[in-house]
Structure 1
């Protein structure tokens, strides 16, 4: 660590989870840190998600980052008072094709601590009523114990407060960044000088570096989510993934997943039409965060499709053995997506690093990505 007279300064554009992750890593490395955020608080991808730190089902570099992030989450939870718990993840199989994917996952990739569980055990974990579940009774499941669940509505705010209270940290909300150059950030509240600038603006990266966003094919992925009442007393259990989740995460990839995709294309085409990832996380107040659909735009329109909500909610209700779900809130999430990389990294000008997670996994990999970026400065 540098001495107080040698401390370098880091300016970070964006107070979403990825920007905050870089700020935490920079403070831990002894740098002076200023975070600049255009809104009065985080309002985009970092609060419009499941709060699921879904490390066990990532693959490749995302898998490496996810595993590195788990201990960082636990350390930061203690320091910043985050609402984070080791919930684990339960992957529910309701068909033979889905069960085959779980066997392939456990037998060939074996996430740490993962084990197959019976349909009865799945029912116990979700506290399903056998009489009510009917045809929705699960066949089997996979329990992935290492994953975490955070409260997405408080996590970014608490990390930002911890940074702002740090003797070397500052967070400037309601401050628009006009331009970024070597050693300087021009904002609506004046110039900020720094030895290094990190731009973690998510899907808005193109507002500062349009050519970079165009080369990286960064677009906006819009999704539909809801907060619902739990249909029965469930306690505070694992996050839940389903058959559609098996088509999205790298750890499931293989012949069994492709067979499942073909089965869904024939039997449930509406799930593929909306690119569904039917999943949920259980919150401390007894509600469930449920979703989600995916569609890519150059600029996501704000409109929500009620038919799509009907598909998602009816499928989630079937997993929970419920006739329906009582919706409390609905919203649209937006995150950066790209066909060419999982994480965009670039140095558009000397002394400036641009970083954007382009897979919707910022909560899962962000802390480790921040640590790697700062270590490489």
Structure 2
């Protein structure tokens, strides 16, 4: 397939735009969307010809229900916005929810506690037969839960569609344009200065490029993921996203249950090497049928360029066990990467009164950014 030619950027304005956004990933686009809905004149600066980072390297899973606290608030607000934007921008959205499979009594205990806390509207407990209706290939299960409010998109289609919709609604995009510095009222780019009344810097894990002191304050590091697309065993179709016991240790609402401690003990006894690579065994099915399977988590300010095949082997081993097959056939593999902070789920900082630096530092940008952005702009504007 021949790559599309890079889009032609307009000339930089001489008069200030109301809002300049640096970064055309989902966090930057979320701020542009909210600003457009407020009737503001917006410009977006993006160093690449299109979004190629965490915003398109993910599962497309809008995983709202398992969150907690402020994260849950942002996720639920973002959910409503995703539904509206799918109609406006013309991308598909899947309302099949999330299936959490339980393969032990302890894992089922997590789901029972979670259901008791959240209620039937958010969490619907399933027996083995109920799980098999949604995931026919599931093996060695005792039950599960369906989270009907969760959504799914194809990030490789939804993120470009959002950018196109914004452009159709008057947003100027400066693609292939590096922002080398930001000062109050000006984004200094490789093409010249972009004047702006307000500025949002949303470059994800590269926050340290322009704001190293902020990155150090929030202890920002890059989280590297091992992710795969595999053939669907037996050409099965699975509508919901699927989470496992590993996910019960990762998402706040599930991890807060008393039974989660026993789940960790079980996994430690059976496969401690999977915890060493911080596995979150989950998958979604892409429109073409491929299974997006992952993932593991590796943290560093700067990663070496070498990926260990043994880590991929672990994901494939646990994935094959989940599907009840001897092996899975890989179609493609890639390295995901996102900003992570051990001290905060969100980095929102004010280096100058008219400037905000924003990064989702918890790997849930697709889930929360559209809910976070309005709170940032309420304060900034």
* Normalised TM-score (structure 2): 0.93
Instruction: For 1:59-98, list aligned pairs within 5 A.
Output: 59-98=68-107
Cα contact 1:82–1:158 (8 A) shared by 2: yes
**Corresponding position of 2:41:** 32
CA distances 1:225-283 after superposition (whole Å, capped 9, x unpaired): 00111102333510000000000000112221011112211221011011000000011
Q: Secondary structure in 1 aligned to 2:106?
A: helix
Looking at structure 1, the residues matched to 298 and 134 of structure 2 have their Cα atoms a distance apart, in angstroms, of 32
Q: Provide the aligned length of Structure 1 versus Structure 2.
A: 364
CA distance in 2, matches of 1:32, 1:54: 31
Distance 2:337 2:32 in 1: 22
Q: Could you tell me which residue of structure 2 aligns to residue 213 of structure 1?
A: 215
State yes or no: 1:361 paired with 2:361: no
Deviation >4 Å, runs of 4+: none
1:3 aligns with: none
2:161 pairs with one of 142, 158, 162: 158
Aligned counterpart, 2:130: 121
CA RMSD in angstroms, aligned pairs only:
1.4
Specify the SS of the correspondent of 2:233. coil
| Contact persistence 1:8–1:195 (CA under 8 A) | yes
The yes-or-no answer on 1:200 pairing with 2:209 is: no
- Does the 8 Å CA contact 1:224/1:294 hold for their aligned counterparts? yes
1:251 corresponds, among 250, 253, 270, to 253
Secondary structure class of the residue paired with 1:318: helix
CA distance in 1, matches of 2:33, 2:150: 21
Worse overlay, 316-325 or 42-51: 316-325
SS at match of 2:163: helix
CA contact (8 A) 1:94 1:140 kept: yes
Cα distance 1:190–1:199, how it changes in 2: closer, same or farther (>3 A)? same
Query: Residue 302 of structure 1 contacts residue 332 of structure 1 at CA under 8 Å; is this kept in 2?
Result: no
Verify the 8 A CA contact 1:51 1:363 in the aligned structure 2.
Answer: yes
Shift in CA distance, 337/111, structure 1 to aligned 2, threshold 3 Å: farther
Displacement after TM superposition at 1:126 (Å): 1.2
In structure 2, how many angstroms separate the alpha carbons of the residues matched to 1:245 and 1:67? 19
CA contact (8 A) 1:102 1:141 kept: yes
**Rounded Cα–Cα distance in structure 2 between residues aligned with 1:111 and 1:277:** 25
Instruction: Assess if the C-alpha contact under 8 Å between 2:135 and 2:238 holds in 1.
Output: no
| Structure 1 residue runs without a partner (length 5+) | 1-6
What is the CA distance between 1:111 and its match in structure 2? 7.0
Task: Specify every segment of 5 or more residues in structure 2 that has no aligned partner in the other structure, as ranges.
Answer: 1-15
